[in-house]
A and B are shown apart, each in its own frame.
Chain A
Amino acid sequence: MTLWQQTYEMARRSVLQTLRQPAMVIPPVLFPLVLMGINVSGLDAATKIPGFPTDSYLDFAIAFPFVQGSLFASINAGTAIARDVETGFLNRLALTPMRRAAMLLGQLAGVLVVALISGVIYLAVGFAAGLHVKSGFWGVVVLLVLAMLIALAFASVGAFIGLRTGSGEAVQGVFPLFFVFLFLSSSSLPRNLIEHEWFRTIATYNPVSYLFEGLRSLIIFGWQGQALELGFLFAGAIALIGVTGSSTALRNRLART
């Protein structure tokens, strides 16, 4: 039994888990779109601010559902793993010859599949509402790749919390903290247009800003190397930290001989 086969089975299970819980499908897809719709209708005047990078707030705001959807993905991943700890399902898996990596990769891969489907839905809704992607078809492909890397990053952090605490409630409890990071970033305005210095400073140090800016660059500016690089760099760094942390947590949780 190869690592690939094991990972595939675990990913299949993760997707089934999600699809069989409407409450875990609707929030990552619907809520970010609703919030984006509110922002687009309420903040459209922001495009009149001198220096605003586009005359369509939709083009600016479409990055928001990708990042917010990834946050939901992190909660889903963390909650699912915590439930496996709580129910003893993790012990069942530990008693099989499955490798630890497959347990984690399978769960994360399942989240990525859901993130990809969500991303396609965001874009479909966006295009229907008049979205323009300056970088063209390949820009859309890279956008989805970056979105999945962001989903992997947040999901791995969720998995880490789920494995460390073994409690779905604890994972849910961290969610508001993640939202603070989301809003204290360049999610609603470009950093150079944020009026208050303290906010601008926090947004500059907040890695989530660079995730938004990386996604947004493909839509608004086309192929803008630095923003895209920083987006991939920060998403990759968070993913690396999250996967390493959750691997360690899984090893500690499964102290089998």
Chain B
Amino acid sequence: MSRAAAEGIEVEGLVREFKNGPRAVDGIELQVSPGEIYGFLGPNGAGKSTTVLMLTTLLPPTAGTARVAGHDIIRDGAAVRASIGAALQEAALDPLLTGRDHMRLQTTLQGVPKAKRRERGDELIDRVGLTDAADRKVGGYSGGMKRRLDVALALVHSPRVLFLDEPTTGLDPSSRADLWAEVARLAREDGVTVFLTTQYLEEADVLADRVGIIDRGKIVAEGTPEALKAQIGRPSVEAVPADPSDRDALAAVLSRFGAVVPSPPGHAAVRLDSAEDLVAVVRALDAADLRVADLQLHQPSLDDVFLAKTGRKLDLDETPEEVAA
């Protein structure tokens, strides 16, 4: 078996239907290469977590198949589980156990040799910066500490493939950056294949080698973040009037320079043909005697890709920082 097959992920026509509901996952196809960080990006309810549950063998698919680390997720679930680590959507920890208790339980259940359990546990606890808190009950940990322990627990048996389901949701920027660094290190230095779901554009943009965008159970775009943004190619300009009552007049002026794109209430935004149009926009606003409180040129983002593919904004207001606050 090639390394690509033995340490990557191959998904073919994966479907999951729930009773009396729409298809949560609707025939997705994807491949993740060994050592690659694959960002699975989509809004809440898009099918990200359902996909992870199927790929980690915790939820049988309705149709389709997938191979994870070279093993069929339907016929060979035990072998898949032995090859993967997973930190699912909520940090699945027992609030009454300490960090070290968790390590002991996880190393034992994952079959780490008895002589190495303590050493392996301490090594991972140290790697995620929890040595000082290792003997405290997890119920008193912050969200970031829980997440870091969650990831460390997923690594006790040195898995070849790691699934991280929205690992930074609710974390403060510092904790998020720490986790990104650890995930990047795992992929770059240890060669771990990482399948990461996120609803944060920035996370996918910064961390992922390739991104799959999922919406309503279907993958609507896939590629490197740069390639996806290049598909959009054109920047947008967003303006905020100094006088809120000027918003409609401002939008009317901007609309002369391109198609309107969604923007927060009180703002107006259009897609420009090129960044050079910005000068003309400023002159037109001046000519119309419209004063602006803020004017920004946005390079294409993954959000623009999502918008172009689905007609909706992925993440209009919610950023990780705002969530953390």
Contacts and interface: CB of A to CB of B under 8 A. Distances in A.
A, B bound: yes
Interface of A: 1, 5-6, 9, 13, 16-17, 20-21, 84, 87-89, 91-98, 254-257
B109 A91 contact: no
B92 to A, nearest CB: 4
B261 interface: no
9 contacts: A1-B111, A9-B108, A16-B97, A93-B109, A95-B56, A97-B109, A255-B59, A256-B58, A257-B57
A16 B100 CA distance: 13
Contacts of A256: 57-58, 77, 81
A95 B96 contact: no
B96 A92 contact: no
Most buried by A among B58, B75, B95, B137: B58
A194 B94 CA distance: 47
Contacts of A257: 57, 60, 73-75, 77, 80
A94 B84 CA distance: 12
A88 B90 contact: yes
A16 to B, nearest CB: 7
Nearest to B82: A97
B106 A96 contact: yes
B132 to A, nearest CB: 20
Contacts, number: 77
Majority DSSP secondary structure for residues of B touching A: loop
B306 to A, nearest CB: 28
A6 B89 CA distance: 25
A87 B92 contact: yes
A92 B101 CA distance: 14
A20 B60 contact: no
Pairs A-B, 7 closest by C-beta atoms: A88-B92, A257-B77, A96-B109, A92-B92, A257-B57, A20-B96, A1-B111
Nearest to B159: A95
A5 B110 CA distance: 12
A89 B92 contact: yes
Given A9-B108, A20-B137, A87-B95, 16 more contacts: A9-B105, A16-B97, A87-B90, A89-B93, A89-B94, A91-B88, A91-B92, A94-B58, A95-B84, A96-B106, A96-B109, A97-B109, A255-B58, A256-B77, A257-B75, A257-B77
